[in-house]
Chains A and B, each alone.
Chain A
């Protein structure tokens, strides 16, 4: 659906997008994840033909963004960053205008506006001017406008910034729902958002893609080390040396002071089957295991690892 090859865009001396390539198949929800200024917005602006790339190629549904901008835009619904709106217009009036500019015949408009309003939950506000709406509802108006022509591709630039937690959850649900039929690209610098809405993540930093994959794949790939926490009822003097001498355990650190004859440890290993081995170890030494917990690196840690590193 979307093919991007070696895309580069510079603003004067700043390289905003530095030769990125990716492909997004039909019906996938992809998140652009990256710190502010990583090149997410610029990439989206190139895809929506708002800005041209300096070099490289981007195609949407087989149409080139540089030579066939009108064809590309016909197939895209675009919500720019911070969802700008015409405050003095009414909701229906605005949606009708968008539909009209997009060439939807007037006989179709009413039903299409109705559907977009229903999907985005704008019903209760329908009589109001956009300027009277809260940030969350304005965002919905923006989303409704992107849906009006039933586009194949949705490009949403930070669709949840500035919303309160409840609104964020609602908008995410909406995106998930839309993503069942459409190809969606959304950008964000909020990690849980990606985990909540996207099939696949592209982590962008300094205009390049530093990682891509499903959230599971990414967390697994970044996992050099596994942290395991165990609690054992028994004497620390007996337990600690055994743990330390066990093969595969690289570091043993005692967590809190021993109380009620229980000692807690945090173990660092590279062994993915550490849980099973710890169980056998406990059985062999007649320990009573009261806690055994393996912590995987969260996407957040992966993100920090990938984007905080030196260039």
Chain B
């Protein structure tokens, strides 16, 4: 097994070794279910769609993902275990990628645990399967983007709380720059540029049920960009 996968496996297991993971997954699910059934008046509206769930994912992830990533690097740097990890016969990027994959796996577990909701909707009515699949793909891509941002922020501090708050704010800004309210307050010439940069715009575009390669490419480049920054911030110990 490659060192990247060994690290990913160890990190993934580490999530479940602390109670925090269970707390966050439970919170995420409770919140999702609450939003789905009550906030959206599911039974009143009488439409078999998962739209509300996916509409709210960017907001629930805003809390959930930074909570997952906050300790990854911050804790290692505080305790000094980063020095063990970074003196194994591996490259810095292999460690970064390992941590990212572990986070992604954990996130996927959380997302997959919402499947009973989907099953309920399918049982009650006849939802558009394409939209549901696109919704899941979009959620995973958005979650992965948040994840790469959170990991990078965590690598720059030894304080988990600081990591959590900064990642939350950063993800929030990147998500919100594309929504109409923000765009309308910007000068016209900036609008097309900013709306393309926004996580929200691309997420909505996928959520409509069309998985466009441009949107996927956008998310992948965001992920690669922040993972690259993460590698750089790990390597920055060498520059001082």
Contact = CB atoms under 8 A, between A and B. Distances in A.
A71 B89 CA distance: 7
A100 B6 contact: yes
Given A50-B83, A80-B80, 17 more contacts: A11-B240, A48-B87, A52-B238, A73-B89, A80-B83, A81-B80, A85-B81, A86-B81, A87-B79, A97-B6, A98-B88, A100-B9, A101-B3, A101-B88, A101-B89, A101-B90, A103-B89
Secondary structure class of chain A's binding surface, majority of residues: loop
Given A70-B90, A74-B89, A84 B6 contact: no
Contacts of A21: none
Contacts, number: 64
B196 interface: no
Secondary structure class of chain B's binding surface, majority of residues: helix
Contacts of A49: 87
A84 B87 CA distance: 13
Given A100-B1, A100-B6, A101-B6, A73 B87 contact: yes
Interface in B52-93: 79-81, 83-84, 86-91
A102 interface: yes
B84 A80 contact: yes
Nearest to A157: B83
B87 A70 contact: no
A110 B238 CA distance: 36
Q: Which 9 A-B pairs have the closest CB atoms?
A: A84-B80, A73-B89, A100-B6, A88-B17, A74-B89, A80-B83, A84-B81, A48-B87, A70-B89
Interface of A: 11-12, 45, 48-52, 70-71, 73-74, 76, 78, 80-82, 84-89, 93, 97-98, 100-103, 145
Contact of B86 (A11, A50, A52): A50
Nearest to B95: A101
Contacts of B3: 101, 103
Given A86-B81, A88-B18, A50 B87 contact: yes
B10 interface: yes
A295 B148 CA distance: 65
A14 B151 CA distance: 31
A84 B83 contact: yes
Contact of A84 (B84, B91, B237): B84
Nearest to B83: A80
Contacts of B237: 50-51
A84 B79 CA distance: 6
21 contacts: A12-B240, A45-B83, A52-B238, A70-B90, A70-B91, A73-B88, A73-B90, A74-B89, A78-B84, A84-B83, A85-B79, A85-B81, A86-B14, A89-B14, A97-B10, A98-B88, A100-B1, A101-B6, A101-B89, A102-B89, A103-B89
A89 B88 CA distance: 18
Nearest to A76: B87
